[in-house]
Each structure stands twice: as structure tokens, then as C-alpha cells.
Amino acid sequence: MIDTWAQIGYLISAVCFIVALKALSSPKSARSGNLLGAAGAVLAVIITFVAYKPDHLAAILVALVIGTIAGVVGSRRVQMTHMPQLVALFNGVGGGAAALVALMELSHVRDGETIAAIATAFTILVGAISFSGSVVTFAKLQELMTSRPVTFPGLPVLFVAGILGGVALSVWLVTDPRVWVGVLLCLVGLALGVMLVLPVGGADVPIVISLLNAFTGLTVAAGGYVLGNALLLIAGTLVGAAGTLLTKLMADAMGRSVFNILFGAVKGGSTLGGGTASDRPVISGTPTDVAILLGYAQRVIIVPGYGLAVAQAQHVLRDLVEELHSRGVKVDYAIHPVAGRMPGHMNVLLAEAQVPYEQLREMDEINGDFKSTDVVLVVGANDVVNPAARNTPSAPIYGMPILNADEAQRVIFLKRSMRPGFAGIENELLYDPKTTLLFGDARESLTKLLAAVKNV
């Protein structure tokens, strides 16, 4: 039993986590919320060292220093476009750590402690799934392997067999808590994590990251029960609940069920198409042509996407919008829930460029404005404005809610090439007579466009 002062300290840490999660719901308070959550975690670590006086202190401190250095260096060096990969790695490490801790605690689980044994088995199995699944999602997003769905004959049978084997080993572990049974269960979990993520491709990968994040949270909560640590139980529950809700919201934004996202490729469906570009003619323009359209418009909507993040063009885009505002043009940013590679990707990217939050409008709020919009400027987005989601039942993204850019008077696409978007299918809006394409790197194109607008 830990001292009362340590329990009070853990309670303060838990309150920090809860308040931090609430603060993360708004861009205005997200930075302070993140710092508050980090402070709560540091406080919890300090209390643990003082209250429990762990053995092998030197080795623990060395590992702590190495991990801290790796985390700081990695976080500072990662590019905005690679943030989902970093999230996947951090999530995988959390799940793997929970599974390892549960394995180490197996020797302390006594016969008759059924609930503790169930929590231990759950932590080992689900933690291992989260670890291996997160590694595969990292590899897909980092293009270390194909981002297309990977299936093979017998995968469904093998996956079901793995689930049944995991359940059987879990029951065995509960009735006879032996370490070697736990190791076998961990290996089965690692295999299940790989098989769970391999068939997922295209725009579905970030949703799976969110699901695995929920898995990690649940394992941490279960691990908190095993260790008798209320703080881990609270923190894990928060992460598990938040990850579950986020997964559901992202799936709804894609217009599909979580089951379809995970197993659609096994049945022959996926959000990843053929990936080939068409040779059909399109209307292309120069920066001057586009500047004339923008300069004399009264209403403009910007649709940002992953290409904006890749080109790091958010600052130039902000300058262009400020120039249009100075001319009396009303400009807003239309933010799709799954634009980029993770939820809030565009919000964070534009906030980095000091874009006022009031200019960022969510899809449901702004979709009715496109009919009265003179020009829509699409910068690095594709699938989130693809009319095939509404008009083509055979399209892999059919049913996904999109931004109604095709309802505007004119559409301008800034694209590097005619290569399809992340979903790998053609966008019919590119071939619409009211659409003008401005080819080139987004930052270079926007820089030229800004200069041309100033001369109009």
C-alpha cells in the first residue's frame, strides 16, 4: 500500500490528464493542454520513483535518459507530413510496453486470482496486437512497404484461427498462469496485429492507427488493474475511450463501417484504386490566369490537403489569403475531417502558419456555401472533393462525405501531376470544363500566384 501523499499526487496527475484532454479539443488551448498532460506524466514518474524505491535504479535511469533523448530528437526532427508515422510508433511502443509488463507480472499472479489473470492475458494479447499492427502502419505510411492492401489465399481462415488460438491460450493462462503460455499468447498477438493491418490500404490506414491507439489505451488500463495502479487505470481508460470515439468519427467521415475498413479488402473492396493517371485532356492555366480569377472574385474557399503539407506551403498560402482579404475578397478554409493523414492534420498545419482559427470551417458547416462561391482553390487535396464519392457506386470511396467543391462557379486545382490521390482513383472534377489546373510544386505555384495577384 503506497503512502497517502503518493495517492494524492497520483490524483493530481489524473486530474492533469483529464483537463489536458479537454483542452486538446480546441486549438486555442491545445498547446497548454499538451504541456499540462506532460507535466502530469512527469509528476507521476517522480512519485513512482520516490514512493516505490525500485530496484536496479541505475539501469532504469539509463533507459529513461536514452528514451528521453530519443523522444526529444525524434519529435523535433519529424516533419509535419510524417506526424502520423510518429504517432503510430509511439502508440506501438505503448502497447508493446504494456504487454511486456504483463508478462513480467505473470510470476506474481497466484492461483485463484481470476480477475487479475484475465486482465493480464488481455494486456498481453491486445498489447502485442497493438505493437505489431502499429509497426505495419508505420511501414505503410513511410512507404517501407506497399500502402496497397496485402491479402493472400487463406488469410481469413488464418486470422480466425489466430483469434481462436488467442482465446484458447488466454483461457489456459487464466487457469494456469505460466510464463511460457504468456509468451505463446504474445506471439499469437503479434501475428494477429500483422494480419489485421496488412489488408488495410489507402486512406484507411490513419483510421487503423486510431483504432490501435484505443487498443493501447485499453491495455494500459488493464495493466493498471494488474499493478494496482489507479493512475494507469484512469489514463488508459481516457486513451481507450478517446481512441474509440475518434475511430468511429473517422469511419463516419469516410461513410463506412469500421468492419468494412478493416476487412473490406478481404471481400474485394478497399479505398485504394488502381492508381493510374488518365491521358484525357484537361484545362491548365498560368499563375496570371488564376490570379485574375481570384483577384476579381467576391467569395473564395480554400481546400487544403496533404500536398500542402508535403510542399510546406502553408505560410505562402496564408500570405495569399491575406492579400485577397485586403482586396475585399471573403476567404475561408474548408477542412475535411480526414484531410491529410490524420484528424486535425490541416488544422495543425495552418495554425503553424498563424492562420486565424475563425477562418477554418469544418465540412458540415461550409458545405452549403459552395453554391454561392466564385472560386474554389484546391491545394494538395484530391479525394475529399472527388464527386465519385456521390455519383459512382462502383468507386471505392463511394458514400464518403466530401466537400462540395464541384458546386462552385470555378475550381482551381494546384497539382504536381495528374497522379491520383491517396485512394488511387481518378477525380472527375479535374476534367470538368469549369476546372483549371495549375501544375507544379505547391509552394512554388503559390509564390508565383501571390506575385501575380499583387499585379492584377
What is the edge-to-edge ordering of all strands in the sheet holding 375-379?
Answer: 360-362, 330-335, 299-304, 375-379, 410-415, 435-439
Active-site residue identified among 176, 383, 406, 441: 383
Q: Name the region of 398 (left: φ>0; alpha: ψ -120 to 50; beta: rest).
A: beta
Which single residue is written with the C-alpha cell 464518403?
400
pLDDT of residue 57: 86
CA distance 216 to 91: 7
Q: Which fold has domain 287-455?
A: Rossmann fold (3.40.50)
CA distance 4 to 319: 55
Q: Name the region of 116 (left: φ>0; alpha: ψ -120 to 50; beta: rest).
A: alpha
Contact call for residues 448 and 287 (beta carbons, < 8 A): yes
Reduced DSSP (H G I as helix, E B as strand, rest coil) percent helix, strand, coil of the chain, to 5: 65, 5, 30
Question: Helix or strand or coil: residue 313?
Answer: coil
CA distance 59 to 73: 21
Contact call for residues 162 and 133 (beta carbons, < 8 A): no
Contact call for residues 419 and 277 (beta carbons, < 8 A): yes
- pLDDT by position in tens, the chain (length 456): 578 888 899 999 999 999 998 898 777 788 899 999 999 999 999 998 888 888 888 898 999 899 889 888 888 888 777 778 888 888 899 999 999 999 988 878 776 678 889 999 999 999 999 999 999 999 888 878 877 778 888 888 999 999 999 999 999 999 888 889 999 999 999 999 999 998 887 667 878 888 999 999 999 999 888 888 888 899 999 999 988 988 888 787 766 777 777 776 565 544 555 555 566 788 888 999 999 999 889 999 999 988 888 888 899 999 999 999 999 999 999 998 877 767 777 888 888 888 888 889 988 899 999 999 999 999 988 888 999 888 888 777 777 888 999 999 999 999 887 776 666 678 889 998 999 999 988 899 999 999 999 887
Contact call for residues 85 and 142 (beta carbons, < 8 A): yes
Q: Name the region of 328 (left: φ>0; alpha: ψ -120 to 50; beta: rest).
A: left
User: Looking at this protein, which amino acid is placed at residue 188?
Assistant: V
- Cβ-proximal residues to 260 (8 Å cutoff; 6+ apart), any chain: 269
Active site residue 332: no
Q: Taking the model in full, what pTM does it have?
A: 0.79
Question: Which sequence spans correspond to the domains of the chain?
Answer: 78-263, 287-455
